[in-house]
Structures are given as C-alpha cells and as structure tokens.
Structure 1
Amino acid sequence: MARMTEAETDPEPEIDPEPGTDPEPAGGMDIQAVMDHLPQRYPFLLLDRVLACRPGESLTAIKNVTMNEPFFQGHFPGRPVMPGVLILEAMAQATGVLAFETAGRRPENHSIYLLVGVDRARFRRPVGPGDQIVLEVTYRDCRRNMMRFSVDARVDGALVANAELMCAAKEIKA
C-alpha cells in the first residue's frame, strides 16, 4: 500500500482575493465596478454596492449611511437626518447603473447618463446614521432615448422614499 505524503493529504490553502476583487453574486457589483459606471466620487458617490442587476428589468443596490457623512454636520445638529435630495441622488445613481447595463453601453465609450426627470417623489420617513438604504430600481420603458424607472428606497424593509426617474444618455468628449 502506498503511503501518501503530507502534501497529498492537505488540501490547497485558500487564497484570499486581492482587495476590490471579491467575487459578486450574479449581476452584483462591488464598489470598484460601481465607480466604473458612475462619474461621481466622494463625497457625492452615494452607492456602496449593487446586490443584483438584471439589465432591462431591475437593480438592487445599497447605501450605508454613517455618522461620518459630511451632510450630517449641518442637517440637523443634534438630530442628523439625510437630506431627501441626497436620497433622490442615490436613486438616480442606481438608475444610471441600470441604464448603462440595459443599453449595453459602458462609460469608457464616452457617454454618461443624466437625470432628466423626477415624478411622484415622496419621502416617507427620515433616514439617519446607522441606516442601510436598499434601493430597488425597476426599468419601465424607453421613449425618445429617455429611460424611465420606478425606484423604492427602503430601510429595514420599510419604505422611506419612492419616485419615478428618467435619464438620458449624453456623449462626452474624451
């Protein structure tokens, strides 16, 4: 009977991936992939991760809200509340990612998606430090090169804001 060496009996050690290369579930995106889709950067990048993306259908993304957000310094001292317009901006950024994926375009093709319309926006409860906003984007249609989406923002399953957003592609100079 052959004797197995230690190298043959020990499984290969798992190697941790390099930072920023964590595997994502199907359709998910880490922060680097999100940044590859959006021109915004700190402190205005308001998406932390895409959990799922189905081009032409839907996208789910998250924004982790921390006390370190610069807007909490003045909104409001002693009772920090995320400004509704920034919740709306997070929604718009999520629609931008889904728009790129739906159109099969890439930012490196010298294009950007701009917010061109907001309808039926409602803010239902305050968002503060420690909350995680889950953004659920649904693609509605495309008319005259403008894509329309409905977006729900939830914290702990409760609806905090919702709106219908429209965006359009714009070519940019290299």
Structure 2
Amino acid sequence: MLRQEIRSGARVRGGVPSLTPNQRLAKLDNIAQRISGLSEETLVISAEGLCFLRTATEQSLLKRFIERTGREVKTVVVFRKEKDWRESWESQLAKESSGVLNIALSENDDVSILGDWYFDKDSIINFWNPFNLIQIEFEAHINILEPLYREIGHPLDNIQATVFKNRRTPI
C-alpha cells in the first residue's frame, strides 16, 4: 500500500519486492482472502510502518483491503510525546544494520522517514479516522498493553507488566 518514494527500513533491507500496481493489488487481495478465512475472532496487526500511510490512494487501498477481509476493524494508534517519539524512532532506525538511518537523514524532509511529516499527529488522525480510530497516549500508562488489551476486549489477567514497561514514565 505504501507509496514507492518512501524508503522504509524493510525496503532498504530489500525485504519488500518491487511490484507493479497490479501485482500489489493481487498480493493485497491474497492476504485479505487469507485473513477472511481465519477462524480467530480477534486478529491484531501491528507495525510502526502503518504510520507511513497518509495519501488518499493509500487510504483507498486500505479501505479495499479491509472490505475484502470481511472483518470489523478497530484502529488503535498509540501516540507519544513528540520529543520521546522522535528519540525512540531515531534510536530504532539506528539499530538497523542496513544504514536506514543514514538514508533517512540524507533524504528530503517530505519523503524521509525522519521528516516532520512522519510525526504529524493530525495527518495520522485524519488518515485513520475512517477506520474506527481509537487513540491511546503512551505516557499515560505504565504498561501500554493494558489499554491495548482493553480496546480489543482481551482479558487483562495474563499481562506480564514487568516485561512491557514504559520506562520513560516515572513510576
């Protein structure tokens, strides 16, 4: 779904094949069909890279994909304070051995995955609003899994709070 000019970590690593628009549609349709055939009541699809999606074309492709799964969708976006979000994202990119951080630092702001556009909460909200958007503020929770579990209707009794702590928030 992601527009070609965005060089995500997966693309830099060579993990995303170069496909024609028709090939991409066919691949998305195949994934949607596989999802529609699953018996699980709740599926969680999670990726920071979903925050790259911003254009009307991407939104249209996502809508088509969701419709083809035949499932109800809740979109849960976890926002952080922008300073912490930027630090965390840059740190994550720096861990990549593929040099994605150096590429991001060298690109124009409008396509760099470190550009101001990436951290634009209003654009993210506008993109995801049509998909039953639920917003969670990261810093408001010591254990970010608790609000995520609540939103998907999952029992809270099996959460291992010591494993998934927000270490930037004083306890």
TM range (shorter): under 0.3
Structure richer in helix, relative to its length:
2
- Identify which of structures 1 and 2 has the higher relative contact order when contacts are C-alpha pairs closer than 8 Å and 6+ apart: 2
Relative to the length of structure 1, the TM-score reads 0.26
User: TM-score, with normalisation over the residues of structure 2?
Assistant: 0.26
Larger radius of gyration: 1
Q: Which structure: greater strand fraction?
A: 1
